Amino acid sequence: MLKLLRAFLESGVMENGLVSPVEEGTPQGGPLSPLLSNLVLDELDRELERRQHRFVRYADDCNIYVASERAGKRVMYSLTRFIRRRLKLKVNEAKSAVARPQERKFLGFSFTGRAKRRIAPKALLRCKRRVRELTRRTRGISLKQMMKELASYLRGWKGYFGFCETPSVLQRMDQWIRRRLRSVIWKQRKRRASWRLADSPVLHAAFPIAYFDALGLPRLFAG
């Protein structure tokens, strides 16, 4: 096991087609980082359980839920000291805070005021940015190929974020994506004012939801 871990750590990273050595730490986004985090932070989990805290942790990202701001500050101080002294690890103070659950995010999710899971705003923006990239008219691909790539991305996105408890957000995203596609189709026909007209009754009738269903576009909200 140690030999395998060392091989991972010394394998280097590829940047612009060239492999560069790694002198310290693990590559960002690599599979080894969450594995090592779980090994090292298992002791932290046991300490939190011993204190009977309610918490959730994935790799080095951890949220701990307490009853008040005062309790949060006390827990933050004591656990920071535990991590530094007992585990010999650094705490990223810039990303650490005592706040209400709805003010923080965890793995792309946050909470509403009624403690329901919602998709974090930044995650929604990333989704829209990716949809725009996949549906750029200047890519020079057919509508069929565009829909195939978009459907693949949306199925994966829905598989993860469909876990949210705010279906209205998925409904609005569905509407935005279909409007985006109507605009793209209208542009391909050399028309103007595509985004404004994409939400018109005429284009809704010309390209209804069933039209995009037939093209293989998955719905994020199935209600």
Beta-sheet strands, E only, within the chain: 13-15, 18-20, 54-58, 61-65, 109-111, 117-119
Would you state the pLDDT for residue 81? 95
Which of the four pLDDT bands, split at 50, 70 and 90, describes residue 223?
low
Determine the average pLDDT of the residues in 63-89. 94
Which of the four pLDDT bands, split at 50, 70 and 90, describes residue 192?
low
Would you state the pLDDT for residue 191? 65
Q: What percent of the chain has pLDDT over 70?
A: 96
Which of the four pLDDT bands, split at 50, 70 and 90, describes residue 65?
very high
Task: Name the pTM for this structure.
Answer: 0.75
DSSP secondary-structure letter at 30?
A: -
Would you state the pLDDT for residue 190? 65
Closest CA to 207 of 126, 147, 138, 136: 147
Tokens of 108: 């792309």
pLDDT surpasses 80 at 222: no
Determine the average pLDDT of the residues in 97-103. 89
Distance (Å, whole) CA 223 – CA 68: 37
Output the CA angle 107-112-116, nearest 5 degrees: 75
How is the chain split among helix, strand and coil, in percent rounded to 5?
55, 10, 35
Between 192 and 163, the more confident residue is: 163
Say what the alpha-carbon torsion angle 157, 160, 163, 166 is, to the nearest 10 degrees.
-30
**What digits encode the pLDDT tens for the residues 47-56?**
999 999 999 9
Tokens of 106: 């965890």
Query: Distance from first CA to last CA of the chain, Å, rounded?
Result: 48
